[in-house]
Amino acid sequence: MRLKQRRVALITGATSGIGKLTASIMGENRWYLAINGRKWKSEMSSWLQDLHEQQIVAEFFPADVTVQEEAVQLVENVYRHFGRIDALIHAVGPFIRERKLFYEHSLQDIDQMVTGNLLSALWTIHAALPYMRRQQWGRIIMFGFGRAGEAPSWPDRSVYAAAKTGLVSFTKTLAVEEAPYGITVNMVCPGDIVGEKKEWRIQDVAQLSDDETPRGRPGSGEDVARVIHFLCQDESDFLTGNIINVTGGLDVIYPVSKKNPPFA
């Protein structure tokens, strides 16, 4: 079948933000798209129509990957539909914007951060690996934060940081274990790319100024997505186990709590 001759990318958390922009760029580069989100959003209709008008094959697969059974079922549904899964781009990663010390987090906060950022990735990848091993080819991309590879202290973000740095170790370990099967595993770490800029292209931010970022301009979703696409190429098979910062040189981590400054 012609359908099985084109690479298929499953992108979780792809209904908005960087995941959505990544899906668009992968589609523009002739990948078939399995777009995942918790539920259908009405604004997706125009986006999917735009993809289809560009002759991009894209299908929506609803699932909440923070629920183990739904994460596994998502992968099975995508494989059943397309007949293969070549790339798994895990863009799900809940974040609590409000600054909180660890003791101020509720148990629900902790469960949400660990399940959403760490366990959802483990469950989804575990379900996808048999198909990638069978193909002797696969690309797995996870999301972190700038400097995640250092496991730094990040005051006010303790639980999120713990989950993501756990994912760093998993990325490096899985890269070694799966290398013999032609599967690469990497992590991209966006900088302070927020709000609507997550879905912007580089040309949209090229003329804007950002005094905090050493590069001098704000980041865009495309800055991250183009790295992901590069990592998914056939010729990128020697790149695995990497933690790649896409930050414009900005260090997003403040060394002490901004919520409760020690000498205020």
Which segments within 3-129 are labelled E, that is strand?
Answer: 8-12, 32-37, 58-62, 87-90
Please enumerate in sequence order all residues whose Cβ is within 8 A of that of 88, keeping only pairs 6 or more positions apart, or say none: 9, 10, 12, 124, 125, 128, 132, 138, 139, 140, 141
List pLDDT tens digits, range 238-252. Answer: 999 999 999 999 999
Model confidence at 3: pLDDT above 70: no
Tell me the pLDDT band of 41, cut-offs 50, 70 and 90: confident
pLDDT at 175: 99
160-164, long-range: CB within 8 Å, 24+ apart, which pairs? 160/95, 160/96, 160/113, 160/117, 162/113, 162/114, 163/113, 163/114, 163/116, 163/117, 163/118, 164/93, 164/117, 164/118
DSSP 8-state class, residue 245: E
Quote the pLDDT of residue 1: 36
- CATH of 2-246 given 3.40.50.720, 3.40.50.2300, 3.30.420.40, 1.10.490.10: 3.40.50.720
pLDDT band with cut points at 50, 70 and 90 for residue 42: confident
Q: What residues does each domain of the chain span? A: 2-246
Mean per-residue pLDDT over the chain, rounded? 95
Q: Can you give the pLDDT at residue 149? A: 96
pLDDT at 39: 87
118-158 per-position pLDDT tens digit? 999 999 999 999 999 999 999 999 999 999 999 999 999 99
pLDDT of 264: 53
183-190/138-143 β-pairing:
parallel
**pLDDT tens-digit map of 44-80:** 899 999 999 999 999 999 999 999 999 999 999 999 9
For 5, residues 6+ apart whose C-beta sits below 8 A from its C-beta are none
